[in-house]
Amino acid sequence: MAKYGEGDKRWIVEDRPDGANVHNWHWAETDCLEWSRNLLSKLLNNLKVLDGEGNLFIKINKVEKVEGEAYVNVRKGKIIPGYELNVVLSWQGEAKDSEGNSLLKVDGSVEIPYISDENADEDPEIRVTVKDEGPIGKTLKDAMFSKGKPVVEEKVRVYVQSMAKGGPAKEELESKKVEKSGQPVAGASVKNAGSVAPVVEKEAKKEVKKEVKKEGFKSISLTEKFSCRAKDLFEILMDENRWKGFSQSNARISKEVGGEFSIFDGSVTGRNVELQEGKLIVQQWRFGNWPDGIVSKVRITFDEPEPRVTIVKVMHTDIPEEDRYGNATVVENTERGWRDLILNKIRAVFGFGV
């Protein structure tokens, strides 16, 4: 037993003299803003949009501005990206007649006001402006929007996928893995060299097992107390009009077993599996940004130990660790959504605080 005031060293995480973050146990944050500027410039600079179609010539000149924040957090090898960027591009266009004579040259800008990890599964808003708003200038502007928008969206998706894989932190993680695999076993000598191979093989098996787990599923469990009747909470969660009220989004909810529902403007869809009024809700849930074919299970129980005091327990299982775009924030976002967008909203809107 440790003496009072000293603590038990088995439970103390000390800083290593070499500053190493062993197994990425601690949070390691990498600033990715400058890296984001460089990557977006590489993806979007000198990019042709139209090269003579309809006698129009349009290209994106360069990335003029990238503002906001971008970072990657890594803990225990898990990558959690975060970014909110405002990007401005410059573009130029030229219209020619059938004989190749120039009719008008214009300059303009493209603004992508919000590229965010919260909307990683959605194409961002794109705004196109032009300095000459005459008839030909407007034609070039419309062409830039209709033909350039999908080009820009494709490049933004590349950036989003790169951030999901770790951005600049990915290279650092991979280099650390190489260094780790190349390190000799401390204290190993020629005599025990034969034991090194089994150790390396064992570590390799651990790494493979860890990778398989990363591609699997997880569960979350929440317990909350409300000042209301159990049947009131049950009815709120099963009534589309009340759902619209506290979530401030469109909802369509069947109250029948086997019936379907759609909430949060269609971002979440599913089916009722079991319903016991005031006691139990079991549903299948699927988020629109999940990989195809993946459906999770939600089980909500309502317990009223005393009048007008209800304990709600939410068990959400089979949640994929990554969405279809490789973002490893699905579990965290799902748990935050339950707390902040559903349970806490119900408590605040209907006055069910304890």
154 and 264: one domain?
Answer: no
**Cβ-based burial of 12 (10 A; exposed 0-12, middle 13-18, buried ≥19):** exposed
- 312 to 283, 305, 315: CA distances (angstroms): 15, 11, 10
Q: Determine, yes or no, domain membership for 190.
A: no
Same domain, 162 and 247: no
142 shares its domain with 272: no
Domain boundary, last residue among 111, 142, 172: 172
Among the candidates 172, 205, 227, a domain finishes at 172
Render pLDDT for 147-176 as a digit per residue (tens, 0 to 9): 999 999 999 999 998 988 888 876 655 555
pLDDT value at residue 7: 41
Residue 224 lies in a domain: yes
Domain endpoint, select from 154, 172, 190: 172
- Do 56 and 131 lie in one domain? The reply is yes
Asked whether residue 10 is assigned to any structural domain, the reply reads no
C-alpha to C-alpha distance for 202 and 125, rounded to whole angstroms:
49
Q: Same structural domain for residues 135 and 222? A: no
Domain membership of residue 185 (yes or no) is no
**Quick one: DSSP state of residue 2?**
P
C-alpha–C-alpha distance, residues 12 and 309, integer Å: 41
Claim to verify: residue 98 and residue 163 sit in the same structural domain:
yes
Q: Kindly state whether residues 316 and 240 are assigned to the same domain.
A: yes
In the prediction, which pLDDT does 121 show?
A: 78
Q: What is the pLDDT of residue 354?
A: 63
The whole-number pLDDT of residue 182 equals 52
Q: Which residue has the tokens 């830039």?
A: 144
Amino acid occupying residue 181 = S
CATH number at residue 87: 3.15.10.20
The reported pTM is 0.47
Is the Cβ–Cβ distance between 253 and 243 less than 8 Å? Answer: yes
The domain in which residue 272 lies consists of 217-350
Residue 1 lies in a domain: no
pLDDT computed for residue 283 by the predictor: 96
Same domain, 226 and 164: no
One domain for residues 127 and 70:
yes
In terms of domains, do 44 and 168 share one? yes
- Counting as low any pLDDT under 70, the low residues of the chain are 1-28, 75-77, 170-215, 354
Q: Are residues 168 and 250 in the same domain?
A: no
Residues 6+ apart with CB under 8 A from 46: 59, 60, 61, 62
Residue 235 and residue 166 in one domain? no
**Count of structural domains, the chain:** 2
What per-residue confidence (pLDDT) applies to 124? 86
CATH code for the domain of 298: 3.30.530.20
The pLDDT value recorded for residue 200 is 45
**Residue 76: predicted pLDDT:** 58
C-alpha dihedral over 221, 295, 319, 248, to 10 degrees? -70
Residue 198 lies in a domain: no
Per-residue confidence (pLDDT) for residue 22, from 0 to 100 = 43
The tens digit of pLDDT for each residue in 9-60 reads: 433 344 444 444 444 444 567 888 999 999 999 999 999 999 999 999 999 9
Asked if residue 193 belongs to a domain, the reply is: no
Domain assignment of residue 211, yes or no: no
